[in-house]
Amino acid sequence: MIFWSLAIVVTAIACAALYYAGAGRRVNATAPVVDSPEVQHLKLQLKEIETDAANGRLGAAEAVAAKGELARELLRLKGAQKPVPAGAGSRRGIVAGATLATAILALGVYGALGRPDLPAQPLAERADTPPPEMTLDDAIARIEAQLKKQPDDLRGWTVIAPAYMQLGRYADAAAALRRVIELDGPTADRETDLGEAVMMANKGDATGEPLALFKSAAARDPAHVRSRYYLASEATREGDYATAKADWQALLKLGKGDEPWYANATAGLAAAEAGLNGGAIPDGSAIAGMVEGLSTRLMQGGGTVEEWTRLVRSRLVLGQPELAQQAYDAARKAYPDAADRAALDILAADNGLVANN
260 and 320 inside one domain: no
CATH code for the domain of 153:
1.25.40.10
Q: Give the pLDDT score at 9.
A: 56
Same domain, 113 and 20: yes
Residue 88 CB partners (closer than 8 Å, separation 6+): 23, 24, 25, 26
Question: Does residue 15 sit in the same domain as residue 63?
Answer: yes
Measure the CA–CA gap between 57 and 53, rounded to whole angstroms. 6
Q: What is the pLDDT of residues 25-57, one digit of tens each?
A: 444 444 444 556 666 666 666 676 676 666 666
Lowest mean pLDDT across 71-75, 103-107, 150-154: 103-107
The alpha-carbon radius of gyration of the chain (Å, integer) is 36
Q: Which residue has the higher pLDDT, 125 or 206?
A: 206
In a domain, 357, yes or no: no
271 with 315, same domain: the answer is no
Task: Tell which residue, 44, 31, 15, has the closest CA to residue 88.
Answer: 31
Q: State whether 150 and 252 are in the same domain.
A: yes
Q: Does 129 have pLDDT greater than 50?
A: no
pLDDT tens, 237-288? 788 889 999 999 999 999 888 876 787 788 788 888 888 887 654 444 444 5
Whole-structure pTM value: 0.49
Q: What is the pLDDT of residues 156-199, one digit of tens each?
A: 999 899 888 877 788 999 999 999 999 999 999 999 999 988 98
Domains contained in the chain, number: 3
Q: Which of 10-14, 136-140, 322-326 has the lowest mean pLDDT?
A: 10-14
Shared-domain flag, residues 39 and 101: yes
Residues 6+ apart with CB under 8 A from 294: 307, 310, 311, 314
Instruction: Share the mean pLDDT of the chain.
Output: 74
What pLDDT, on a 0 to 100 scale, did the predictor assign at position 189?
A: 93
pLDDT band at 108 (very low <50, low <70, confident <90, very high): low
- Residue 60 maps to a domain: yes
| Domain membership flag for residue 97 | yes
Residue 12 has pLDDT above 70, yes or no: no
Does 150 score more than 80 pLDDT?
yes
* Integer Cα distance of 71 and 142 in angstroms: 48
pLDDT at residue 250, as a whole number = 93
Same domain for 318 and 235, yes or no, is: no
Q: What pLDDT is recorded for position 283?
A: 44
Same domain, 238 and 308: no
Counting every residue, how long is the chain? Answer: 357
Same domain, 331 and 250: no
Statement to judge: residues 154 and 216 lie in one domain: yes
Range of the domain at 87: 2-119
Predicted confidence at residue 280, as pLDDT, reads 56
Residue 90 has pLDDT above 70, yes or no: no
In a domain, 57, yes or no: yes
